[in-house]
Amino acid sequence: MSGLGAVPAWAYATCTILGMAVVTVLSRGCFLWPKREVRMPAALQRALQVAPLAAIVAVLAPEIFMAHGEIVGTWRDARLAAALAATLWYAWRPGVLGTLLAGLAVYLPLRLGLGW
């Protein structure tokens, strides 16, 4: 039992999961249920194309540029150097694996070897 009354905690979790499932089905179904193609404005199509990139940046930018809730105050941070190396690699040869390996090749020696 939780402190929210006589309703057990698992009931709140179950209602939350079911509610999220309903919202997901409804929001995605809007594009699947119509008999004819849904026309979207070009601006909306473009926004939906860049949405995954925006989500990745929103998650990774604070991890790279912040430490303990504050902006990194020194250039001697292995995350900054690794992000720069990964960005340069991607600019040279686009691809996920090479970018990941380039970032790790810079991050690990700086973090583990020099203690940055």
Q: Residue 29 falls within a domain, yes or no?
A: yes
What 52-59 contacts at long range (C-beta under 8 Å, 24+ apart), as own/partner pairs, is none
The rounded mean pLDDT for the chain is 90
Q: Residue 99 falls within a domain, yes or no?
A: no
Structure tokens at 94: 């686009």
Structure tokens at 55: 């989500």
Q: Residue 49 falls within a domain, yes or no?
A: no
What is residue 24's predicted lDDT score, i.e. its pLDDT?
Answer: 93
- Contacts (Cβ under 8 Å, ≥6 apart) of 39: none
Residue with token string 């070009």: 42
At residue 5 the predicted structure's pLDDT band, cuts being 50, 70 and 90, is low
Number of domains in the chain: 1
**In this model, does residue 3 exceed pLDDT 60?**
no
Query: Phi and psi of 37, rounded to 5°?
Result: -65, 135
Q: Residue 69 falls within a domain, yes or no?
A: no
Q: What residue type is 55 in one-letter code?
A: A
pLDDT tens digits for 16-56?
A: 999 999 999 998 888 777 788 878 899 999 988 999 989 99
Q: Residue 50 falls within a domain, yes or no?
A: no
Nearest to 89 by CA among 77, 101, 71, 76: 101
Distance of CA 65 to the CA centre of its chain: 15
Q: For residue 5, what are the domain limits?
A: 1-39
